[in-house]
């Protein structure tokens, strides 16, 4: 059961269908090569075995008069003998390796077969074609393996893909995205406008002796528009945009990643002035480790990138833009002067930004008159540009499926819920017991938060399952906050504990439905202690609990203390939630009963329970 409605910070994976097709093809070729190599070896061995005759057997066969004909090839100790008997001639052929041709010739002289005829002796010159084809046949498995290796190398990109160049749809060399296609982010655009100027008139800057920036790092969570901005810079400047993702440099074979980096920059030099865009740079740019095992390959790739960034000529106007949502992971060497020395944070849009993005993406869509983008912007705090674009797209799909003529406000609200909590599952059969548990759980969240001054008003409470949640309580978002206070975090934990506390108090039972609430609350407690330095006993310290080095610095005592204090914070939150509910049992019962009857309660209906 979800307690809040923040969109999940999911990294939006780009489709990698092409990659999977490549891998499947590679596997098929590999299997074909292995199977055919084994088959060739097996059958040629088997055939040879069937056709071979030992020298002693040959002598006995000659003495018994069973040999009709002998064929010899000049210079070869392998002779062919044709035996008397039934069947086709080739069934009677046998190969024999003779120790000495000379001795054999003497032995066979004047020998007759069982019909009294002299054994026919045939001397053949070497057939060069047969010789070559024999050699080729025996080399076939090796040839197949070499072909396979070449294919693997090609597919892995040795000399292959070195960044895709994106031009405009009209065939122009630069993308047709402009700053006007980016809503909000005015300050960031302002900071980047000079890059456009550098790219447009590099000579003017060079004549003045100004150094053109080489690398700009864009920090921000997925979907905030980093790629869009990079493309818009290229579009505004009218220069080519060469794009590659950090993960594309990660290869199976050592040295290939570095070779791709080299090729990417070679390509850019030919296209200068231009922009190189490296998305997810953390995939190759994370802190270098000791040169061991698989990490060596990554280190080589990163080193090559550093070398390339240092190696530009002043005349080459290439600007490298890179994007990451994990800046803390990056190797410090990447951020030194001359490399990515400019860093720009691309934040999730604020209220005005969200409204602007919604309006921009509303073009080409039909909306009913009741749709108010300002209100939607208010309800979608924390959403990124990509998520907002997705909301409107989902709303259009919902409207079409519901046979609406235009997209209504309700369609948009449903799209927001679909994105935050998941799809409504009205058909799911739920037992009365589970329904009651969910009703008390959600009522618990809603009632507890009503008594917490820092928590926002309840917007909707529902026991209709959505996504993985059995029910949900949605809160209004009325302002974009820059900072969050300690009290607010503590009260948020209390609201989260409201669900579990209500289950226990009203039904004397606890369920797995509270798992997400517990996870979020524990995360808040951990962050309060180790990131925000909000604990009185520990003081304002920062402690990266995932970093073994930091754990070593602080020692076990501090780590134990963190564990204990997390426990204290959670226990306090649970106790407070319980107290609030015990003092307001009548309201808790009423809210839960109404939920069981109506399944959903609006904000106004919820407020009614508190009017005396
Ligand atoms: P990732 O880190 O996943 O690559 P990103 O930060 O590069 O994400 P983009 O790919 O640039 O995000 O954004 C995805 C889409 O979201 C854009 O194509 C655009 O439709 C929309 N979008 C994001 N931000 C904005 C914005 N400020 N204005 C208009 N559209 C936006």
Which is the closest atom of ligand 1 to the Cα of 220?
6
Q: What is the pLDDT of residue 5?
A: 43
Query: What is the C-alpha to C-alpha distance for residues 355 and 374, in angstroms, rounded to an integer?
Result: 6
% of the chain surpassing 90 pLDDT: 31
Reported as a single tens digit per residue, the pLDDT across 501-515 is 999 999 999 999 899
* Dihedral (CA of 70, 73, 74, 77) sign: negative
**Residue 230 tokens, joined:** 């990079």
Residue 590: Cβ-neighbour burial (10 angstroms; 0-12, 13-18, 19+): middle
pLDDT band at 4 (very low <50, low <70, confident <90, very high): very low
Is residue 295 within 8 Å of 289, Cβ to Cβ? yes
Q: What is the pLDDT of residue 252?
A: 57
Q: Which residues share a beta bridge with 274?
A: 318
CA of 225 to the centre of ligand 1 (A): 3
Reported as a single tens digit per residue, the pLDDT across 417-476 is 888 877 666 666 778 888 899 999 999 999 999 999 999 899 999 998 877 778 889 888
User: Mean pLDDT across the stretch 99-109?
Assistant: 78
Which is the closest atom of ligand 1 to the Cα of 346?
6
Reported as a single tens digit per residue, the pLDDT across 184-234 is 888 888 888 888 888 888 888 878 887 778 889 999 989 999 999 999 999
Residues annotated as catalytic (active site), given as ranges: 442
Q: What is the pLDDT of residue 17?
A: 46
Which is the closest atom of ligand 1 to the Cα of 280?
2
pLDDT band at 171 (very low <50, low <70, confident <90, very high): low
* Dihedral (CA of 573, 574, 579, 583) sign: positive
Probe residue for ligand 1, chosen from 359, 389, 393, 394 as the CB with the greatest number of ligand atoms within 8 Å: 389
Q: What is the pLDDT of residue 132?
A: 60
Reported as a single tens digit per residue, the pLDDT across 587-600 is 999 999 999 999 99
CA of 312 to the centre of ligand 1 (A): 30
Measure CA of the first residue to CA of the last residue in the chain; give whole Å: 30
Which is the closest atom of ligand 1 to the Cα of 231?
11
> How far, CA to CA in Å, does 112 sit from each of 119, 458, 577?
5, 111, 112
CB contact set of 201 (below 8 Å; sequence gap of 6+): none
Query: Phi, psi at residue 122, to the nearest 5°?
Result: -120, 125
- Residue, of 240 and 170, whose pLDDT is higher: 240
CA of 398 to the centre of ligand 1 (A): 22
Probe residue for ligand 1, chosen from 223, 380, 388 as the CB with the greatest number of ligand atoms within 8 Å: 223
Checking if the pLDDT of 9 tops 50, the result is: no
Query: What is the C-alpha to C-alpha distance for residues 65 and 85, in angstroms, rounded to an integer?
Result: 11
Checking if the pLDDT of 144 tops 60, the result is: yes
**Ordered DSSP codes for 48-93:** HHHHEE-HHHHHHHHHTT-EEEEEEETT-SEEEEEESSSS-GGGSE
Query: What is the C-alpha to C-alpha distance for residues 67 and 85, in angstroms, rounded to an integer?
Result: 9
Ligand 1 pocket, CB under 6 A? 12, 182-185, 220, 222-228, 279, 323, 325, 357, 360, 385-386, 389
CA of 341 to the centre of ligand 1 (A): 23
H or E element, residue 205: helix 202-207
Query: What is the C-alpha to C-alpha distance for residues 397 and 375, in angstroms, rounded to an integer?
Result: 21
Domain chopping of the chain, boundaries: 52-124, 162-345, 351-420, 432-608
Reported as a single tens digit per residue, the pLDDT across 533-556 is 998 888 898 888 777 787 788 888
Checking if the pLDDT of 74 tops 80, the result is: no
Could you tell me which CATH number the domain at 351-420 has? 1.10.8.60
Probe residue for ligand 1, chosen from 10, 385, 391, 419 as the CB with the greatest number of ligand atoms within 8 Å: 385
* Three-class SS state of 533: coil
Q: DSSP label at 469?
A: B
Q: What pTM was estimated for this model as a whole?
A: 0.64
CATH level 2 (architecture), domain 52-124: 2-Layer Sandwich (3.30)
Checking if the pLDDT of 161 tops 80, the result is: no
Nearest CA to ligand 1 atom 11: 225
Nearest CA to ligand 1 atom 21: 386
CATH level 2 (architecture), domain 162-345: 3-Layer(aba) Sandwich (3.40)
Query: What is the C-alpha to C-alpha distance for residues 384 and 353, in angstroms, rounded to an integer?
Result: 10
Is residue 349 within 8 Å of 222, Cβ to Cβ? no
- Summary mean pLDDT of the chain: 82
Nearest CA to ligand 1 atom 29: 182
Q: What is the pLDDT of residue 41?
A: 67
| Superfamily of 432-608 according to CATH | Peptidase M41 (1.20.58.760)
Instruction: Give the highest mean pLDDT range of 48-57, 311-320, 386-395.
Output: 386-395
Reported as a single tens digit per residue, the pLDDT across 14-44 is 334 455 566 677 777 777 777 776 776 676 6
In this predicted structure, which of 230-239, 248-257, 391-400, 471-480 has the lowest mean pLDDT?
A: 248-257
Q: Which residues of 474-508 are buried (b: 16+ CB within 10 A; e: fewer)?
A: bbebeebeeeeeeeebbbbbbbbbbbbbbbbbbee
Q: What is the pLDDT of residue 127?
A: 63
- Edge-to-edge strand ranges of the sheet holding 458-462: 472-475, 458-462, 600-602
Instruction: Give the highest mean pLDDT range of 18-27, 78-87, 301-310.
Output: 301-310
Is residue 444 within 8 Å of 507, Cβ to Cβ? no
Query: What is the C-alpha to C-alpha distance for residues 375 and 471, in angstroms, rounded to an integer?
Result: 24
Q: What is the pLDDT of residue 313?
A: 67
CA of 388 to the centre of ligand 1 (A): 10
């Amino acid at each position: 059961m979800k307690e809040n409605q923040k969109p999940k910070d999911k990294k939006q994976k780009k489709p990698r269908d092409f990659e999977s097709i490549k891998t499947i093809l590679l596997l098929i070729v590999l299997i074909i090569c292995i199977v055919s190599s084994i088959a060739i070896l097996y059958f040629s061995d088997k055939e040879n075995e069937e056709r071979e005759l030992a020298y002693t057997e040959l002598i006995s066969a000659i003495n018994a008069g069973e040999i009709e004909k002998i064929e010899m090839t000049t210079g070869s100790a392998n002779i062919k003998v044709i035996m008397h008997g039934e069947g086709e001639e080739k069934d009677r052929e046998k190969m024999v390796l003779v120790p000495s041709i000379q001795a054999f010739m003497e032995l066979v002289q004047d020998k007759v077969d069982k019909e009294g005829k002299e054994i026919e002796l045939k001397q053949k010159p070497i057939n060069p074609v047969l010789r070559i084809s024999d050699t080729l046949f025996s080399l076939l498995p090796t040839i197949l393996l070499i072909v396979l290796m070449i294919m693997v190398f090609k597919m892995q990109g040795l000399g292959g893909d070195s960044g895709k160049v994106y031009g405009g749809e009209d065939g122009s060399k630069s993308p047709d995205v402009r700053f006007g296609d980016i809503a909000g982010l005015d300050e960031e655009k302002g900071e980047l406008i000079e890059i456009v100027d550098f790219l447009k008139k590099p000579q003017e800057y060079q004549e003045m002796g100004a150094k053109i920036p080489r690398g700009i790092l864009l920090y921000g969570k997925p979907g905030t528009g980093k790629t869009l901005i990079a493309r818009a810079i290229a579009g505004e400047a009218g220069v080519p945009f060469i794009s590659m993702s950090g993960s594309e440099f990660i290869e199976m074979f050592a040295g290939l990643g570095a070779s791709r980096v080299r090729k990417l920059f070679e390509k850019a030099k030919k296209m200068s002035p231009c922009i190189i865009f490296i998305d997810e740079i953390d995939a190759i740019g994370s802190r270098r480790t000791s040169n061991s095992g698989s990490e060596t390959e990554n280190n080589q790739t990163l080193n090559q990138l550093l070398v390339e960034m240092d190696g530009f000529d002043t005349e080459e106007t290439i600007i490298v833009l890179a994007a990451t949502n994990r800046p803390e992971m990056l190797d410090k060497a990447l951020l030194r002067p001359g490399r990515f020395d400019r860093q720009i944070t691309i934040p999730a849009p604020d209220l005005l930004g969200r409204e602007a993005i919604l309006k921009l993406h509303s073009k080409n869509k039909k909306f009913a008159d009741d749709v108010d983008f300002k209100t939607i912007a208010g309800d979608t705090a924390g959403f990124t540009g990509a998520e907002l674009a997705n909301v409107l797209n989902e709303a259009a799909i919902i409207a079409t499926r519901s046979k609406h003529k235009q997209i209504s406000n309700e369609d948009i609200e449903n799209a927001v819920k679909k994105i935050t909590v998941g799809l409504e599952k009205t058909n799911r059969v739920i037992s009365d017991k589970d329904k009651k548990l969910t009703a008390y759980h959600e009522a618990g969240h809603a009632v507890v938060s009503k008594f917490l001054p820092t928590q926002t008003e309840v917007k909707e409470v529902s026991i209709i399952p959505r996504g993985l949640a059995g029910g949900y309580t949605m809160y209004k978002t009325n302002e974009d906050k820059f900072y969050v206070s300690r009290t607010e975090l503590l009260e948020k934990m209390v609201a989260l504990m409201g669900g579990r506390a209500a289950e226990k108090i009203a039904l004397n039972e606890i369920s797995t439905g509270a798992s997400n609430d517990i996870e979020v609350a524990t995360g808040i407690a951990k962050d309060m202690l180790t990131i925000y330095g909000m604990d009185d006993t520990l003081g304002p310290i920062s402690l990266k609990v995932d970093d073994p080095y930091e754990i070593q610095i602080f020692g076990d005592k501090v780590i134990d203390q963190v564990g204990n204090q997390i426990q204290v914070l959670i226990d306090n939150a649970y106790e407070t939630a319980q107290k609030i509910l015990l003092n307001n049992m009548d309201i808790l019962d009423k809210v839960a009963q109404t939920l069981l009857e109506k399944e959903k309660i609006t904000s106004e209906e919820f407020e009614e329970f508190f009017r005396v």
